[in-house]
Structure 1
Amino acid sequence: MFEPDPPVPDPFEEFARARAPHLYRAAWLLCGHRAEAEDLVQETLAKVYVRMHRRRGPRLDNPAAYAQTVLTRTFISARRRASSTEVPYADLPGLDTAGADGGADHAGTTDLRLALTEALADLAPVDRAVVVLRHLDGLSVEEVAHALGLTSGAVRNRSMRALARMRKEALR
């Protein structure tokens, strides 16, 4: 009896399943809105899919780093467009707040998250990307510089100034 070969798992599908939650978290921190973040992740994954399935050109050695770079650059590029002034309706963050205590969301955590969201919203797109990648995603200065196409000095300078603005806003 003839049995068909089992389907070969698509490396992109496995990558997307594993990496989507992290990409969404970073996108939400960059955008500040659930719908925008979801769109940004979809656009990023579409670009990664095309790159992973390209037959010509160099092989994609680190798809996670590539996806993070695409996500950040797509966000910055979208903010430069005239249509980026559209503002979606206000909604609460869609982040998963379930912790080790079974999902109890404490007022202090919520206040901190809202304060962080407001402080990030006041930053320019590139400064916001630097803060998110450097301090919330834990990338090194060099990794952030590479992802954004900046020099290491520019990343340090932008980070320092953006954090100072955020501190100033927090004291108000």
Structure 2
Amino acid sequence: MRSDAEEEFAEFVRARQHALVRFGYLLTGDRMAAEDLTQTALARLYLKWDTIRQAGAMEAWVRRVMVNEHTSWWRRAWRRRETVDFDATHLADRTASTDPGPVSPDDSLWQHVLRLPPRQRAAVALRYYEDLSEAQTAEVLGCSIGTVKSQTHRALATLRSRLAEVPA
């Protein structure tokens, strides 16, 4: 990669990394997984940097990679069985200084969102947490606007029924 292109890439990462990690957190519900997902997507972007010309297309491309990669991770049976047994208290200072945003892990609605299938969760995260339009969401997800509407509709219907079951 040319040195000026490397500087452009570094500037993009500096400008968008926090928002991308936040989006990764919305997809995964886990800070470390969000950082891994973001890192994977940015590594793929680095390899494609010279071929993606439009600045707006870069972020959409990275978000699409994040959604697809998260879906792949979620589908792998070994990811569901994998457990980590270590004391993460030494990471408290690091994660406190890079809070992903206004989503609270204790928020009861958020807990229900995390239980949605990956594509529905991605549609909800993009539409309502990231405030993207249906067209922008469709571009990120690599699907039609109708699919975004149906995925969002199903997700909201599921959330409504689950929240109706919760005692007040």
Corresponding position of 1:74 = 69
The reply to whether residue 118 of structure 1 matches residue 111 of structure 2 is: yes
Picking from 130, 135, 146, the partner of 2:139 is 146
Q: Which residue of 2 aligns with 1:40?
A: 37
Distance in 2 between residues matched to 1:153 and 1:76, nearest whole Å:
20
The match for 1:64 is 59
Aligned twin of 1:16:
13
Q: How many residue pairs end up in the alignment?
A: 153
Question: Residue 125 and residue 110 in structure 1: after superposition, are their counterparts in 2 closer, same or farther (change >3 A)?
Answer: closer
User: Could you tell me whether the CA contact under 8 Å between 2:134 and 2:149 is conserved in 1?
Assistant: yes
Aligned-partner residue type, residue 59 of structure 1: R
- Pick closer, same or farther for the CA change 1:24–1:88 going to 2, 3 Å: farther
Q: Is the 8 A contact 1:72 1:129 kept in 2?
A: yes
Are the aligned partners of 2:134 and 2:148 in contact in 1 as well (CA < 8 Å)? yes
Deviation per CA, 1:87-128, whole angstroms, max 9, x where unpaired?
A: 656x998663889xxxxxxxxx858x5213311121001110
RMSD: 3.0
TM-score normalised by structure 2 residue count: 0.76
Q: Which runs of 5+ in 2 are unaligned?
A: none
Structure number, greater radius of gyration: 1
The match for 2:149 is 156
Deviation, 1:80, is 2.2
Look up the match of 1:131: 124
Deviations, residues 35-54 of structure 1 (Å, cap 9, x unaligned):
111100110111111111x4
Measure the CA separation in 2 of the matches of 1:88 and 1:17: 32
Code of the residue aligned with 1:34 in structure 2: it is: R
Moved over 3 A (4+): 86-89, 91-95
Identity %: 32
- Report the Cα distance in structure 1 between the residues aligned to 2:100 and 2:132, rounded to whole angstroms: 23
Corresponding residue number in structure 2 for 1:83: 78
Aligned partner of 1:84: which letter? R
| 2:125 partner amino acid | V
After TM superposition, the score normalised by the length of structure 1 is 0.75
Using the TM superposition, give the Cα deviation of residue 78 of structure 1 relative to its aligned residue in structure 2, in angstroms: 1.9
Tell me the amino acid that sits aligned with residue 147 of structure 1: V
Residue identity opposite 2:120 in structure 1 = D
Task: Name the structure where helix makes up a greater proportion of residues.
Answer: 2
Aligned partners of 1:129, 1:135: CA distance in 2, in Å?
10
Aligned to 1:103: none
